[in-house]
Amino acid sequence: MTVSPPPTEAAEAAERSGAGQPSGAAERSGATESCEAAERSGATESCEAAERSGAAASCGAAESVGPTAPVDVDVVDLYLKHIGSGRAVMGRVMGGMAEVRSEGAWIHADDGRRFLDFGGYGVFILGHRHPAVVEAVHRQIDTHPLASRVFLEPVAARAAQALAAHTPPGVDYVHFVNSGAEATEAALKLARAHGRTSVITTRRGFHGKTLGALSVTANATYQTPFQPLLPDVTQVDYDDPDDLEQALAPRRDRACVIVEPVQGEGGVRIPRPGYLRQVRALCSTYGALLVVDEIQTGMGRLGTWWGVDAEGVRPDVLLAGKGLSGGVVPIAAMAATAEAYGPFSRDPYLHTSTFGASPIACAAALATVRAMEAENTVARAAALGLRLRAAVREVCAPYRGGLVREVRGLGLLIGIEFAEEQAVGELLLELIARGVLVNHSLNSTRVLRLTPPAVVDDEELDLFLTTLAEALHSTAGRMSG
């Protein structure tokens, strides 16, 4: 633990960040009048909660470890002027801090406090700034960060080989991209190249927000402003093979099915055992291309390399992202069988982007896979997930049947479902105020989501559980009062 800064220094940094105080700029812009974005985020139900989140700035529980990179600008003001009022408002709701440093399971804010990161949208399975990944990226920067794209790139080849060593047998070809949504786009285009133009997705499914990906992300809030989206997309119920079969039957040899092994943004919805196997069998029967989106569930998140591993399913296409970055450089991938990959394999210009498969990102991915192998990250995620889930259930037990509906999860993807939406925002802010970060679920507003790193130690686990208990107590008290 680092030494706390002198109080004046910390106070100055907090003042500069605007933490805990109404931001003059925010007020001037009228941004504080509208909490729409914050509400949609599930971060808060009302502006009242935003005000209370001043608690986040004044609460002493978030440990002060010293401002390592003081921010000498009014970040909220810059967001208001140059990035957007919605994000600025959300920043204020969360306490007004700017995040400036990270390592392991911790994120540091500009006011000197640090936060235990049990959120991070599934990215930080290795924690923040894993030393082996950081070192590999440094090395790549010092030698050849971006390529001419004229010659072959050894680090891309090695990263593809490393990833393919863990994908289901036969899923050997890898197309690297820069984000999860781009991986979805690549899969949708590959499906079209095979004449699979009719896409079947699942209700509450999340696959990204670029135009094609958004077409299969089943959430009207995000889709409506951008209609019309891709034609011929059908939504079926998740975990319902009969519904899928009804959609597939009239689309023989022209469908593409995209599905998650567990719906992360959909509220950590875990299908019944055998579902993925049934989906695979139906796709084979009706000649559909099966795309399994493992962007959130893969890379050990569920305690297996991939969600499909638990059922021995081989998809035609598997999407990876988030954890593949090692938490250091954004990268995602579309992996496919030789047969499915054919069109991309034959024509290297069919689907390209300037920065796709960059050496710097591939160096991060390669080092990530190697670190996961060396540190048994997948087994660790499974074991830690079991302990964490049981302990979270215990902490939530007094509220079962009231505030809390259910605790569910697989590996280190855990959801707490509440009886009311409001509880998610309230608890999220209570946790921030006490120095812990978690996420809400974009397509399921009553579910709080935990995606901690597999590197969390016993002390951090205990800290999380104690904090959760306190935050739940406070939330329950306020909601009943």
Smallest distance from the beta carbon of 41 to ligand PLP, in angstroms? 14
Specify the residue, 121 or 355, whose C-beta has the smaller distance to ligand PLP.
Answer: 121
d(CA 212, CA 227) in angstroms, rounded, equals 11
Closer residue to ligand PLP, CB minimum distance, 295 or 472: 295
Q: Closer to ligand PLP at the Cβ: 140 or 184?
A: 184
CB of 322 to ligand PLP, least distance (A): 7
Name every residue whose Cβ is closer than 8 Å to that of residue 269 and which is 6 or more positions away in sequence. Answer: 204, 238, 239, 262, 263, 444
Q: Which is nearer to ligand PLP, 110 or 260 (CB)?
A: 260
| DSSP β-ladder status, 99-103 and 106-109 | antiparallel
93 versus 186: smaller Cβ distance to ligand PLP: 186
- Residue closer to ligand PLP, measured from CB, 19 or 181: 181
Nearest residue (CB) to ligand PLP, 121 versus 222: 121
Closest alpha carbon to 411 in 285, 260, 304: 304
* Other CB atoms within 10 A of residue 16 CB: 18
Ordered DSSP codes for 165-199: TTSSTT--EEEEESSHHHHHHHHHHHHHHTT--EE
Measured from the Cβ of residue 25, the count of other Cβ atoms closer than 10 Å reads 18
- Residue 359: cis peptide before it, omega within 30 degrees of 0: no
CA dihedral 318, 321, 326, 327 (to 10 degrees): -160
Tell me which residue of 121, 208, 43 sits closest to 412, measured CA to CA. 121
Q: Tokens for 40, please give them.
A: 């949609």
CB of 282 to ligand PLP, least distance (A): 21
Q: Residue 176 CB, nearest distance to ligand PLP (Å)? A: 13
Q: Give the nearest distance from C-beta 446 to ligand PLP in angstroms.
A: 18
Q: Please report how close the Cβ of residue 321 comes to ligand PLP at its closest, in angstroms.
A: 5
Residue in this structure with the two tokens 């499906």, named with its chain if needed: 191
Q: Which amino acid is at 472?
A: L
Of the pair 182, 460, the CB lying nearest ligand PLP is at 182
Q: How far is the CB of 467 from ligand PLP (least distance, A)?
A: 25
Question: Each residue of 174-198: b (16+ CB within 10 Å) or e?
Answer: bbbbbbbbbbbbbbbebbbbbebbb
Q: What residues line the site for ligand PLP (CB under 6 A)?
A: 121, 179-181, 184, 206-208, 260, 264-265, 293, 295-296, 321, 332
- Count of beta carbons in the 10 Å neighbourhood of residue 83: 12
Q: Which of residues 64 and 202 has its CB atom nearest to ligand PLP in the complex? A: 202
The residue of the chain with the least Cβ separation from ligand PLP equals: 180
- Least Cβ distance, residue 184 to ligand PLP (angstroms): 6
Residue 72: how many CB atoms within 10 A of its CB?
9
CB crowding 395-418: b at 16 or more within 10 Å, else e: bbeebeeebbbebbbbbbbbbbbb
Q: Residue 90 CB, nearest distance to ligand PLP (Å)?
A: 17
